[in-house]
Structure 1
Amino acid sequence: MTLPTQLANLRIPVIGSPLFIISNPDLVIAQCKAGIVGAFPALNAREKEGEPILLEAWLKRITEELDRHNQANPDTPAAPFAVNQIVHRSNERLERDLEICAKWKVPIWITSLGARVEVNEAAHSCGGITLHDIINNRFAKKAIEKGADGLIAVAAGAGGHAGAQSPFALVNEIREWFDGPVALSGAIANGKSILAAQAMGADLAYIGSPFIATDEANAQPEYKQMIVESGAEDIVYSNLFTGVHGNYLKPSIARAGMDPDNLEDSDPSKMNFGADREKPKSWKEIWGAGQGIGAVTGITPAAQLVDRLAVEYADARQELCGG
């Protein structure tokens, strides 16, 4: 298929996944200038009561900086950016944030934890496309039925909220009926994995955890260093912390005084993404990451990470495909 314009001319077929708390304008702008889609969750832009709306300020800055870059570099323009909307009923900001994103003509909308027709319509009203993240084929069909343009297949090993299915199984089932844009998430941290995602039927790779260990990321230095020092065996899969299963760093759980190998289950009905949500103070520094972090060997600028991925991807294509 022909990809939508927003996804068709990237330097490498990669979307930088929106990282809760961590993704900010600095990281998004660096990713886009380096040639991949940069993304952030709308809920990361959180102002105090009485202050100007921070999401508006972030979108203004990102839009204007990328416009200036494109004017100065017409032969190597920046990639478009994306905003992630949490569609769960507990997100009382959703309607306001949709209006702001439509106003600023956000080119790519990533939706999570619920597929809703009105969200897709808001994106389409300003010329944007929607990519809905899913963990199984049933959710994928619901998303497309409700008007999403593409899918993000969140397979086993992905950081943050992740599914448990093999990427081979998940992508194969989706491709039996859907020929639109598909990005694959799940332990993708080098150029060979990007090519592998395409080989199994995805159009793009969806990469998050390696960008935690970048200079621009809004993560504590200890968090970044833990990413560098950890590998797949240091990841635990649990729904305790948000009500939705996700992957987390075992050392951060142990440091909070819990046994990462014996975590209790949470009640998904208590999932809350509203401003009034509370969680134990001991959970403040429990950090998410995917199983691909063994490929992360140092803390670098985001552009340098993209350069590495681009070189590895080109080398993998040359080795396997002869071009």
Structure 2
Amino acid sequence: MKSKRLDRFRERLTLPLIAAPMFLVSGLELVVAACRNGVIGSFPTVNCRSTEQLGEWLTEIETRLQQHADTSGRKAAPVCPNLIVHRSNARLEQDVKLLLRHKPEIVITSVGSPAPVLKPLHDAGALVFADVASIRHAERAAEAGADGLVLLTAGAGGQTGWLNPFAFVRAVRSFYDGVIVLAGGISDGHALHAAEVLGCDLAYMGTKFIATRESLADERYKQMLVEASADDILLTTAFTGLQTNMLKPSIVAAGLDPDDLPARGAIDIGKDIDITARENRPKRWRDIWSGGHSTSGVMDVPAVDDLVARTLSEYRGAGGA
């Protein structure tokens, strides 16, 4: 079942795919490259150091995508800002006001209920997707009026869910007819098509976009993903206090033992989302990196153009329309 809520821009999508919003990884170049290739480009608004810089990013993205449309004759896929709606985000109100002026087509909310921002974003014409990690959270977001649900399943990189994707998607689809986005384990076009068969409208691809030329990730991070496999992913609460999938080799490189980590949340590598604080944090914590189970599918560090073309070929080969 395909949600009619996507009809307004479905023809602009090359793939039913979102380049996942990733803290300190999703930047202007990655978003632009994804969107002009027909993939929804998302980014956490807190990747910008200030609301002012967020406005600069959005203006630059909009300008470049308009230039692309003028040249190619095809309008790009939507840009999708990601709002952290947790009370710790001191910039939330200012960022929302800015987004209202730019009128994004989709906004994703994370780390809390979408309810406080739903009305103003809906009034501005945006679809609002909420990320959820449990059935109860999905029910609450649906009741609040979210247009889509991003299901964080076992295997998603960074802060993740624990539910099996097959069980999670089918359970949510039994009571929800909005847009369902599968997050976790999408490493190629075959997995993307399988997500559609399961009942999803869209899927996140995150880890493979980390290892692209356009991402903001450190080159060592990208190479580590190429060399790692799913066996190198550790689910731990040591760094953020929440279940998070991290790359074991980066933990070892920071001088820690992955099998003997401190207590829950004892190591702060970015639990706060005050971007100005990142420079004051010990450098080694910024070198502990996340990744999903789809790490096993990362074989190289291509340009986004090449990654999308490859994924499209796989998707069609698997039976995707």
Pair in the same fold by TM > 0.5: yes
Deviation at 1:101, TM superposition (A): 0.8
Which of 20, 25, 28 does residue 22 from structure 1 map onto? Answer: 25
Deviation at 1:78, TM superposition (A): 1.0
Q: Is 2:43 aligned against 1:40?
A: yes
Match of 1:274 in 2: 274
Match of 1:132 in 2: 130
1:6·1:108 contact (CA, 8 Å) conserved in 2? no
Deviations 1:48-80 (A, max 9, x none): xxxx81000000011111112112222x32101
Q: Is 2:204 aligned against 1:202?
A: no
Match of 2:237 in 1: 239
SS at match of 2:77: coil
Distance 1:45 1:286 in 2: 20
Letter in 2 for 1:274: D
Deviation at 1:267, TM superposition (A): 4.9
Letter in 2 for 1:227: L
Distance 1:239 1:28 in 2: 29
Deviation at 1:279, TM superposition (A): 5.3
Distance 2:310 2:80 in 1: 22
Matches within 5 A, 1:271-310: 272-275=272-275, 280-310=282-312
TM-score, length of structure 1 as denominator length? 0.92
Distance 1:120 1:92 in 2: 18
Match of 1:53 in 2: 52
Distance 2:6 2:198 in 1: 20
SS at match of 2:216: coil
1:42·1:83 contact (CA, 8 Å) conserved in 2? yes
Distance 2:220 2:33 in 1: 22
Deviation at 1:8, TM superposition (A): 2.0
Distance 2:126 2:5 in 1: 13
Match of 2:318 in 1: 316
Deviation at 1:227, TM superposition (A): 0.7
Match of 2:140 in 1: 142
Q: 1:147 to 1:274 in 2, by over 3 A?
A: farther
Q: Is 2:66 aligned against 1:67?
A: yes
Structure 1, unaligned stretches of length 5 or more? Answer: none
Q: 1:307 to 1:222 in 2, by over 3 A?
A: same
* Alignment size in residue pairs: 313
Letter in 2 for 1:161: Q
Structure 2, unaligned stretches of length 5 or more? Answer: none
Which of 103, 107, 121 does residue 105 from structure 2 map onto? Answer: 107
Letter in 1 for 2:237: N
Match of 2:260 in 1: 262
Deviations 1:221-263 (A, max 9, x none): 1000001111100000112212221111000001111111232
Tell me the percent identity: 40
2:254·2:284 contact (CA, 8 Å) conserved in 1? yes
Deviation at 1:273, TM superposition (A): 2.6
Distance 1:109 1:265 in 2: 34
Q: 1:108 to 1:257 in 2, by over 3 A?
A: same
Deviation at 1:161, TM superposition (A): 0.9
Q: 1:281 to 1:112 in 2, by over 3 A?
A: same
TM-score, length of structure 2 as denominator length? 0.93
SS at match of 2:150: strand
Distance 1:265 1:177 in 2: 38
Deviations 1:26-57 (A, max 9, x none): 0000000011101110000114xxxx810000
Which of 67, 91, 94 does residue 92 from structure 2 map onto? Answer: 94
2:188·2:311 contact (CA, 8 Å) conserved in 1? yes
1:90·1:272 contact (CA, 8 Å) conserved in 2? yes
RMSD value, Cα: 1.8
Greater mean deviation of Cα atoms: 185-194 or 61-70: 61-70
